[in-house]
């Protein structure tokens, strides 16, 4: 999470040099205070600036009827805004998905232009819609679980005609990491265990169900399984451990 900042600061043999030495004083102060405000997504409600980052998990023309149908199902279970401004309380919430994780920080949309401006979130960097990762995450805060609807595009081939195990791992890391971040704030993946149970054909639409197992001190344990949309077929099972970090961890300091 936000690893590109650390990589940026750690690349070019810069290890040991503090961000203060790399960035103008004012920029560094602004960056540090903004990163200090990274919160669990569950508490992010109002964006502090007028410009909205683009939400990459909105329906688009590459979505199959099956993907759209499952999206519609979960979207109907989500909190809604009514005309008089009173939202209808429902258990599910659709999470937005930006092309840089720093955009979750206060002022992040501006900082994203300053820090490694060309960095992009791995799963959101392909121009052709539908070619790789099409996905949307719905979270149920009360039940501490989420469901991701994932359509695996044709450029994700591993075994002939089937989805690459690394692409499946990427999605499991993304979804379990999103849930852990939602529940626990800034985290990084410490451990990911995956059992691949049956091959997933390209262009499949699948559900990635993830749930909190337990939280122990800085450790958030998440379980996950990938199924067909009717849940009759099991593709993958996984467990993941996320460790809470301070932002300083990304700059090489001890917690
Ligand atoms: C920032 C915003 C967040 C919220 C908003 C979300 C926005 C969503 C945005 C976009 C969605 C996309 C989401 C993507 C998600 C993907 C995330 C990644 O892929 S992260 C990249 C891969 N991971 C690494 O590169 C880590 C490298 N490792 C480390 O940096 C460290 O090892 C770290 C942080 C994991 C732990 O280091 P220590 O020094 O801080 O802590 P120590 O003391 O070692 O461990 C703490 C506890 O954890 C256990 N632990 C650590 N590693 C373990 C392991 N591998 N297995 C088992 N236990 C482990 C230890 O035994 C200890 O346990 P005891 O508290 O003593 O009981």
Q: For position 139, which CATH number holds? A: 3.10.129.10
Pocket perturbation via mutation, ligand 1, pick of 1, 98, 139, 208 by most ligand atoms within 8 A of CB: 1
Residue 207 structure tokens: 């559900």
Q: Are 99 and 174 in contact (CB under 8 A)?
A: no
**Residues 36, 81, 173, 195: which is the catalytic one?**
173
**Pocket lining: 2 vs ligand 1, CB cutoff 6 Å:** yes
- The yes-or-no answer on residue 173 being catalytic is yes
CA 148 to CA 168: how far, in whole Å? 12
**Environment class of 49 (CB within 10 Å of its CB; exposed 0-12, middle 13-18, buried 19+):** exposed
Identify the pLDDT of residue 201: 98
Q: Two tokens at 224?
A: 């996950």
Radius of gyration of the chain (CA): 19
Query: Which atom of ligand 1 lies nearest, measured to the CA of 181?
Result: 4
Contact at 8 Å (CB) between 74 and 205? no
Q: Is 186 close to ligand 1, i.e. is its CB under 6 Å away?
A: yes
Look at strands 234-244 and 187-196 and give their pairing. Answer: antiparallel
Kindly provide the ipTM of the predicted complex, given to two decimals: 0.93
Check residue 133 and give left, alpha or beta (phi > 0: left; psi -120 to 50: alpha): beta
CA distance 216 to 20: 34
Instruction: Domain of residue 48: give its range.
Output: 3-251
Q: How high is the pLDDT of residue 119?
A: 81
Per-residue pLDDT of the chain (255 residues; tens, 9 = 90+): 443 333 333 333 233 334 444 444 554 454 455 455 455 555 544 444 446 788 999 999 999 999 999 999 999 999 876 656 566 678 899 999 988 877 777 667 677 666 777 888 889 988 899 999 999 999 999 999 999 999 999 999 999 999 999 999 999 999 999 999 999 999 999 999 999 999 999 999 999 999 999 999 999 999 999 999 999 999 999 999 999 998 778 777 655
Task: Name the H helices within 76-164.
Answer: 108-114
Please name the residue that has the structure tokens 């700059």: 251
Distance 144 CA to ligand 1 centre (A): 19
pLDDT recorded at residue 79? 82
Q: Which residues contact 102 (CB under 8 A, 6 or more apart)?
A: 2, 5, 108, 111, 112, 115
CA-nearest of 46, 28, 47 to 107 is 47
pLDDT of residue 176: 98
Q: Give how many domains the chain has, as a whole number.
A: 1
Instruction: Quote the CA–CA distance of 164 and 155 in Å, as a whole number.
Output: 9
Answer yes or no: are the C-beta atoms of 193 and 251 closer than 8 Å: no
- The Cα–Cα gap between 165 and 170 comes to 9
Q: How far apart are CA 114 and CA 250, in angstroms?
A: 16
List Cα–Cα distances, 31 to 138, 140, 159, 161, 248, in angstroms.
30, 31, 43, 44, 12
**What is the per-residue pLDDT for 7?**
36
């Amino acid at each position: 999470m936000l690893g590109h900042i650390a990589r940026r600061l750690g690349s070019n043999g810069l290890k040991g040099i503090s961000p203060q030495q790399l960035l103008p004083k004012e920029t560094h102060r602004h960056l540090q205070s903004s990163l200090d405000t990274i919160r669990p997504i569950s508490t992010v409600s109002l964006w502090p600036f007028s410009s909205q980052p683009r939400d990459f998990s909105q329906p688009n023309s590459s979505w199959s009827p099956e993907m759209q149908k499952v999206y519609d199902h979960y979207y109907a279970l989500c909190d809604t805004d009514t005309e008089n401004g009173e939202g209808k309380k429902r258990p599910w919430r659709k999470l937005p998905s930006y092309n840089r994780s720093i955009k979750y920080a206060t002022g992040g949309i501006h900082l994203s232009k300053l820090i490694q401006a060309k960095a992009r979130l791995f799963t959101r960097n392909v121009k052709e819609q539908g070619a790789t990762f099409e996905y949307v995450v719905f979270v149920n805060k009360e039940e501490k679980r989420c469901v991701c609807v994932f359509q695996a595009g044709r450029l994700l081939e591993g075994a002939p005609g089937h989805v690459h195990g690394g692409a499946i791992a990427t999605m499991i890391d993304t979804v379990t990491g999103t849930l852990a971040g939602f529940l626990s704030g800034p985290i990084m993946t410490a451990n990911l265990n995956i059992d691949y149970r049956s091959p997933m054909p390209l262009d499949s639409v699948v559900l990635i169900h993830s749930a909190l197992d337990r939280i122990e001190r800085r450790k958030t344990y998440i379980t996950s399984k990938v199924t067909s949309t009717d849940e009759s077929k099991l593709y993958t099972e996984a467990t993941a451990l996320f460790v809470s970090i301070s932002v300083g961890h990304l700059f090489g300091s001890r917690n």
